[in-house]
Amino acid sequence: MKKRCLIFAMLIALVGASCSKQGFLDQTQSTDLNEKVVFSDSAYTIDFLSSMYADIGFATWPKRFGGGGLDACTDEAEGTGLGSINTFIQFATGTVNSTMITKDAWTTAYTNIRRANIMLKNLPDAKFGEDIKIRVKAETRFLRAYYYFILLEHYGGVPLMGDSVYQKEDRVPATRNTFEECVEYIVDECDAAAEDLPWMHVGENYGRISKAACYGLKSRLLLYAASPLFNGESAVTDERLRSVVGYPDVNPSRWERAEEAAAQVIEGSGGQYRLHVDNETEPGYGFYEVFQLRKNTEYLLARMQASNSDLEGIWNPPTFGVTSPGARPYLEVVNAFGMKNGLPIDDPASGYDPEQPYKDRDPRFANTITRDQSLVFHRDGLTRRPVNIYVNKTDPNNITSGQDAVYKGTPTGYYTYKMLNRNVAADWFNTYTPRCFPIIRYAEILLNYAEARNERLASPDQEVYQAVEAIRERAGLSPYQLRAGLTQAEMREIIRNERQKELAFEGHRFFDVRRWKIAEMVENAQLHGTEPVRTSSGTVYHTINVRKRIFNPRMYLWPIPQSEVAKSTDLIQNPGY
């Protein structure tokens, strides 16, 4: 075991020294000896493949930037630990710049792309059977495509490395490929990988890349490519960049291609993938339970891990065992959740009562947001107890608040509850969940399909209704059916609202509001929270200002790290940076 770990560490150092610390443009030192050692042993070779799996999900992790992830970089949540200038603070204040922005998307992606190319170069000589070689090759090609997608969603078009493994004496290409070239490369790799993979793995191979993961990534990619930000609607005038940051022309037919990609999952899997539904235990219980199951019918791709209490340790209130918290939800996210009758809270017929704002809400709300008096599991007695977020003003001469209260534990009056287990304590070693963090879910595919088809048609048809209503039915809404005769614009807003609720805190919102080109509205606004005040006559809820977020149009894309741009005049920076 000691020898195995030493050799594995040698090769990880080999591929990561320049990529993870400096970037792909640095010259990379390599030796044939290390590669020969690692790829002459099947166990070491599989370990090398595992190193590419290990970084899956890094971009959507809720602690990616310390006190928050992508949720704190958009209108979902307010980051914590605000004393330092970090990436989410830059996005909140409109001060994103190429010098201080985190390099993780660039370096982690290119490190793993290089690993994939090393794997593919050495795979023919690997010491295992042809059937395993075929599977490993397919997995590696998908992983390479996945990391290129991470680059594309952050930066637009990037340099494509092909199958090349560059050595220290080589000139590494730095010219950015066009957006279209990157899209087609990823599509081709996903399709090629899918041919040699099953729809779903079983047994010890569960969690490995499947055909569903390949087509799921393709669905997301083509939906993004068809969206306004990339589909020829960019305001970029620099001819060097117009075809790099998106398509230079508007082509509505790209929505049809996105629709077909989503349908490939829905129709092709033969029902192996479907929503996890349980409205018998309680309305919307399936939405809660799916995130607690290591194996389920909904995960096309997940960040596999051992039993854990990771999210409980990030999102729970302070007195429930959290010492290094993540971001806290804004009131705007809370208000996105309508009533259990399916109507938004601002609909006069919804029954919403501002004096009892949490009564009869969409069941997904209670499984996504911790509000004042929510029940959360605590190691003290191993029971669920209410979270006291209120400010106590029952005695005007002695106004008090606890450690979990607004202004102390949370600046917004809310905590995130998405994916948390009802019976797991953040700081108690005897309670864990088998949960794995989702990367691509079947629910997303349904919403991808509904959005693409709705945009393609002049008005939504029954297939659009069915896809959206399936999400609403699983959520426990009653009635879950939508009003007949919706216009395309009305259905568009419903789909966007469903994405905001269903996919909250899974890393989607940041990129959704950008590809829809609405970030300059939702992220250029005053964001709010709630102050619950306990009085002698009950609890009243005051809306409070939390942050006036500032959005600069350049922030539709990330800047390429300046340390990378400085290495070559061929690597052109994104607009505005």
pLDDT, tens digit (0-9, with 9 covering 90-100), for 485-503: 999 999 999 999 999 999 9
The one-letter amino acid code at 96 reads V
Average pLDDT, the chain: 92
8 Å CB contact between 115 and 136: no
Q: What pLDDT does residue 83 have?
A: 61
> If pLDDT is split at 50, 70 and 90, which confidence band does 3 have?
very low
Residue 103 resides in a domain: yes
Q: In whole angstroms, what is the distance from residue 369 CA to residue 414 CA?
A: 7
Find out whether the peptide bond into 479 is cis, omega within 30 degrees of 0: yes
Q: What pLDDT does residue 18 have?
A: 38
Q: Lowest mean pLDDT: which of 110-119, 124-133, 161-170?
A: 161-170
What is the average pLDDT across 194-223?
Answer: 96
Q: What pLDDT does residue 22 have?
A: 40
pLDDT above 50 for 294: yes
pLDDT above 70 for 26: no
Strands (E), 54-114: 77-78
pLDDT, tens digit (0-9, with 9 covering 90-100), for 43-64: 899 999 999 999 999 999 999 9
Residue 403 resides in a domain: no
More confident residue, 429 or 154: 154
The CATH number that applies at residue 133 is: 1.25.40.890
Q: Is 198 helix (H, G, I), strand (E, B) or coil?
A: coil
Instruction: Name residue 402's beta-bridge partners.
Output: none
Other beta carbons less than 10 A from residue 562's beta carbon:
16
Q: What pLDDT does residue 436 have?
A: 95
Residue 7 resides in a domain: yes
Residue 222 resides in a domain: no
457: buried, middle or exposed (CB in 10 Å: 19+, 13-18, 0-12)?
middle
Residue 75 resides in a domain: no
Q: What is the pTM of this model?
A: 0.94
pLDDT, tens digit (0-9, with 9 covering 90-100), for 129-174: 999 999 999 999 999 999 999 999 999 999 999 988 887 777 888 9
What sign results for the dihedral spanned by CA atoms 393, 530, 421, 430? negative
pLDDT, tens digit (0-9, with 9 covering 90-100), for 219-244: 999 999 999 999 998 778 788 899 99
pLDDT above 60 for 335: yes
Nearest to 71 by CA among 327, 248, 310, 266: 327
Share of the chain above pLDDT 90, in %: 85
Q: What pLDDT does residue 84 have?
A: 65
Residue 26 resides in a domain: yes
Q: What pLDDT does residue 41 have?
A: 87
pLDDT above 60 for 390: yes
Residue 538's alpha-carbon distances to 32, 145, 336, in angstroms, are 73, 55, 25
The one-letter amino acid code at 346 reads D
Q: Cα–Cα–Cα angle for 140, 143, 144, nearest 5°?
A: 85
Residue 567 resides in a domain: no
Share of the chain above pLDDT 70, in %: 94
> If pLDDT is split at 50, 70 and 90, which confidence band does 305 have?
very high
Residue 289 resides in a domain: no
pLDDT, tens digit (0-9, with 9 covering 90-100), for 310-325: 999 999 999 999 999 9
Q: What is the pairing mode between strands 369-370 and 415-416?
A: antiparallel
8 Å CB contact between 190 and 145: yes
pLDDT, tens digit (0-9, with 9 covering 90-100), for 561-573: 999 999 999 999 9
Chain-centre distance of CA 434, in angstroms? 19
What sign results for the dihedral spanned by CA atoms 189, 195, 196, 200? positive
pLDDT, tens digit (0-9, with 9 covering 90-100), for 527-570: 999 999 999 999 999 999 999 999 999 999 999 999 999 999 99
Q: In whole angstroms, what is the distance from residue 471 CA to residue 330 CA?
A: 23
Look at the chain and report how many structural domains it folds into: 1
What sign results for the dihedral spanned by CA atoms 273, 279, 281, 284? positive
Q: What pLDDT does residue 199 have?
A: 96
Residue numbers of the domain that contains 38: 1-60+96-186
8 Å CB contact between 209 and 197: yes
pLDDT, tens digit (0-9, with 9 covering 90-100), for 465-486: 999 999 999 999 999 999 999 9
User: 119: which 2 tokens?
Assistant: 């794997």
